[in-house]
Amino acid sequence: MRAQHSAGARWKKLLKLEFSAIAFLSPFLIPLIVFYIWPLLRGVWISFHTWGILGMQKYVGLDNYTKLLTNGDFFKYLWNSLYFVLLVVPIIILLGLILALLIQRKIPFQTTFRSIYFLPYVLSVSVISFIWLRMFDSKHGLVNVILESLGIPPINWLTDPGAAWWSIVIATVWWTVGFVMVLFLAGLQEISPELYEAADIDGASTFHKFRYITLPGLSSVMKVQIFFQIIAGLKLFGQVQIMTNGGPGDVTNTIVRYIYVTGFKKDMFGLAAAQSTLFCLFMLLIAAIQFMLLNRKES
Amino acid sequence: MAKVAIYSLTVLLAVIFVIPLVWMFVVSFKPEGVSAITINEWVDFSDLTLQNYKKVLTESQILRWTYNSLIIGAITTIITVLISSLAAFAFSRKTFKTKGFWFILCASGLLIPTEAMLIPLYETVLSMNLLDSNWGIILPSLTNPLGLILIMQFMNGLPKDYMEAAQLDGCKDLRLWWSIYMPLTRSAMISIGIFYFIMSWNNFIWPYIVINTEENMVLATGLPTFLANNVLHVNTIMTASAIAAIPTMIVYILLQKHIVQGVSMTGVKG
C-alpha cells in the first residue's frame, strides 16, 4: 500500500517536472509550430492541388510534380542558383581569408581597415543593389568610367548575358565578404602563437607556416563558412530582383525568384508549392551532406 | 619591402571598398543629371544641393518606412531574445524525459530557410488575417533557433551552484531565470539581440511578399518602389539609398564592438 502510494507520487512528480519544463519552452515552441512546422506540412498538402491565391482548389494528385519534372524550367533555374554558388563561394572564401590575413597583425589603423571591409554587410540588400545598379550603369556608372581610364572598353554589365552574373557576384562579394573575414579573424585568434614560435625556431618559411599551421587551424571555420555561403547563395533573390529582374531574358532568374513568380505573379499556388517542396528537399540534402562532412572529421 | 607592399594592398582594397559608398553620398548631393563620374565633378563643391533630400523626404514615405523598420526590429529582437532565453534555461538547467525530442524540434528550425517555404507560409499568414501588417512580418521571424542554441551554450558554462543555492531558498524557477540567469547572460544576449536587429532590419524577401500597401512597407522593401515610380530620377535613387544607409551606419559605428562579437559568435557555431 505504502509502496504503491510512493510510486504514484514519483509518477506525479515526474509529470510535473515534464510540464514545468515544457511551459518554459512553449513561448518558443508555439510560433515554431505555427510558422514553421505547420507550413512545411501544409506546403506538401497544397502541392497536390491546383490552388489560386483566393483559395480555389481541386485535388490533382501528383500532376504538379509531373508538370514540373517534365518541363525543364525547374532544373534550369535550380542550375542558375547553383551556378551563382559556384561563382560566388570560392571568391568570397578566398577574399575573406586574404582580408583576414592582411589585417590580423598589428598594423597602423588595423581596426579602421576591419571596419571598412565589414561596413557594407550592415546595409540592406536594397541599398547595396541600388548602389551597384548605378555603379554598373553602362553610361553613367563609375565601373565603366574606371575601366575606360585603364583602356578597357565599356561593358554592358546588366544587359549582357555574360556579364550580368558577374555584376550580381561582385555586388554580393562586396556586401558580404566582411562577414567571412570577421569569422576568419576569430579563427586566427584561436591558433596558439606557440606553434608559430616553434616553427620559427625550426626555420620554417612563411609559406610552410601558412600551409601547416594557419590553414589546418582555420579548417573548421572554413568548412562551416563554405556551407553557410552555399546556403546563402542558393537563397539568392533580392539582388537579382532589384538589379536585373532575372534578366537579360531569364539568365539571372534563380530558383527562389522562379517560385516567387509562379506563386505570386502567375497565381499558381499549387505548382509553386510543389516547386517549394522539391526545393526544401534539396536544402535538406545539402544540410545532410554538411552534417556528414562536418562530423566525420571530428570523430 | 614586402611589408610595404602588403600594407599598400590593404590600403588599396580599403579604397575600393569605400568608393561605392562615397560615390553614393556624392551623387546624392548633386543636382539631377550630374553623375559625378569625373574627378572634376567629384571635387566641384559649388553645385552641391539638398534638393534631392528634400524631394525624397517629402514625395515618398521613406520616414514612415524607417519608423516601421524600427518598430518591427525592436519588437522582433525583444521577443526573440526573451523566448530564446526562457527555452535555453529549460534546456540547460532542467532535467526532463522528453528534452531530446523538443531540442531536435527547436533546432530543426535551422534546416529550411524562409525562402524555401514562401508559399505555405503566405497561406498560413493569410488564414490568420495577418497579411499587410507588422505582425505578419514579426511572427514568422521569431522561430530562428540560433539565439536559443547560443544562450544555452552560454548557460551550460555557468556553475550550477546558483541553481542549488536558490532552490534551497525556495526560489521559484521563473524568478531564478529572471533575476539570476538573465543578468548573468546579459553580454551574450546583447550581442545576439543586435544580430537579430540587423537581420530584421535587412530582412527583404518576406516583407516584400507579405506587405502590399506602400504605407506599411519597411525600408528594405520600400526602396525598390523608387524604380517603379518614374517621378524620381537617377540622383534621387542614390539619395534614398543614402537616407536608408545613414541610420545603419551610425549604429554600426557606435556599436561596432558588439556587432563584430555577435557575428563571430553566431557564425563560428553556424
What local confidence, expressed as pLDDT, does residue A53 receive?
A: 65
- Look at residue A173 and tell me whether its pLDDT is greater than 70: yes
> Among residues 207-266 of chain B, which lie with CB inside 8 Å of chain A?
208-209, 219-221, 223-224, 226-227, 234, 237-238, 240-241, 244-245, 248-249, 251-253, 256, 259-260, 263-264
Judge: A29–B96 Cβ closer than 8 Å, yes or no: no
Q: What is the DSSP string of B123-192?
A: HHHHHTT-TTSHHHHHGGGGG-THHHHHHHHHHHTS-THHHHHHHHTT--HHHHIIIIIHHHTHHHHHHH
Q: What's the grid cell of residue B13? A: 582594397
Task: Indicate whether B42 and B149 sit together in one domain.
Answer: no
Task: Indicate whether B74 and B15 sit together in one domain.
Answer: no
Nearest residue on chain A to B235, judged by CA atoms? A134
Contacting residues of A for B267, CB less than 8 Å apart = 179, 182-183, 186, 224-225, 228
Task: Indicate whether B33 and B146 sit together in one domain.
Answer: no
- Tell me, what's the ipTM? 0.90
Contacting residues of B for A228, CB less than 8 Å apart = 267, 270
What local confidence, expressed as pLDDT, does residue A238 receive?
A: 95
pLDDT digit string, tens, across residues B27-46: 999 888 777 777 777 777 78
What local confidence, expressed as pLDDT, does residue B42 receive?
A: 78
Task: Indicate whether B42 and B109 sit together in one domain.
Answer: no
Confirm if B75 and B256 have CB atoms less than 8 A apart: no
Residues A13-39, mean pLDDT to the nearest whole number:
92
Contacting residues of A for B198, CB less than 8 Å apart = 122
Please, what is the average pLDDT of chain A? 90
Tell me which of A277 and B143 has the higher pLDDT.
A277
Spatial distance between the Cα atoms of A98 and A91, rounded to a whole number of angstroms: 10
Q: How far is B184 from chain A (nearest CA, A)?
A: 18
Residue B26 lies in domain: 1-49
What local confidence, expressed as pLDDT, does residue A78 receive?
A: 95
Task: Indicate whether B22 and B62 sit together in one domain.
Answer: no
Q: Domain end: B49, B71, B89, which one?
A: B49
CA distances from A145 to A108, B38, B48, B60 (A): 32, 8, 21, 31
pLDDT digit string, tens, across residues A252-282: 999 999 999 999 999 899 999 999 999 999 9
Please, which pLDDT band fits residue A297 given cuts at 50, 70 and 90?
low
Residues B162-182, mean pLDDT to the nearest whole number:
78
Domain count, chain B: 2
Task: Indicate whether B110 and B18 sit together in one domain.
Answer: no
Task: Indicate whether B211 and B244 sit together in one domain.
Answer: yes
Q: How far is A103 from chain B (nearest CA, A)?
A: 8
Task: Indicate whether B75 and B36 sit together in one domain.
Answer: no
Place of cell 565603366: A144
CB-closest option in B24, B117, B267 to A131: B24
Spatial distance between the Cα atoms of B68 and A196, rounded to a whole number of angstroms: 51
Contacting residues of B for A137, CB less than 8 Å apart = 35
Torsion of CA B181, B184, B185, B188, to 10 degrees: 180
Q: How far is A106 from chain B (nearest CA, A)?
A: 11
Task: Indicate whether B43 and B23 sit together in one domain.
Answer: yes
Task: Indicate whether B24 and B62 sit together in one domain.
Answer: no
> Among residues 51-70 of chain B, which lie with CB inside 8 Å of chain A?
none
What local confidence, expressed as pLDDT, does residue B170 receive?
A: 63
B83-114 burial code (b ≥16 CB/10 A, e <16): bbbbbbbbbbbbebeebeebbebbebbebbbb
Confirm if B134 and B213 have CB atoms less than 8 A apart: no
Task: Indicate whether B128 and B178 sit together in one domain.
Answer: yes
* Percent of chain A scoring above 90 in pLDDT: 64
What local confidence, expressed as pLDDT, does residue A299 receive?
A: 45
What local confidence, expressed as pLDDT, does residue A138 receive?
A: 85
Judge: B21–A119 Cβ closer than 8 Å, yes or no: yes
pLDDT digit string, tens, across residues B65-77: 999 999 999 999 9
Rg (C-alpha) for chain A, rounded Å, is 26
CATH number of the domain where residue B252 is located? 1.10.3720.10
Task: Indicate whether B37 and B84 sit together in one domain.
Answer: no
pLDDT digit string, tens, across residues A203-215: 888 888 889 999 9
pLDDT digit string, tens, across residues A71-83: 889 999 999 999 9
- Look at residue B261 and tell me whether its pLDDT is greater than 60: yes
User: Residue A43's Cα: distance from chain center in Å?
Assistant: 22
Tell me which of B81 and B3 has the higher pLDDT.
B81
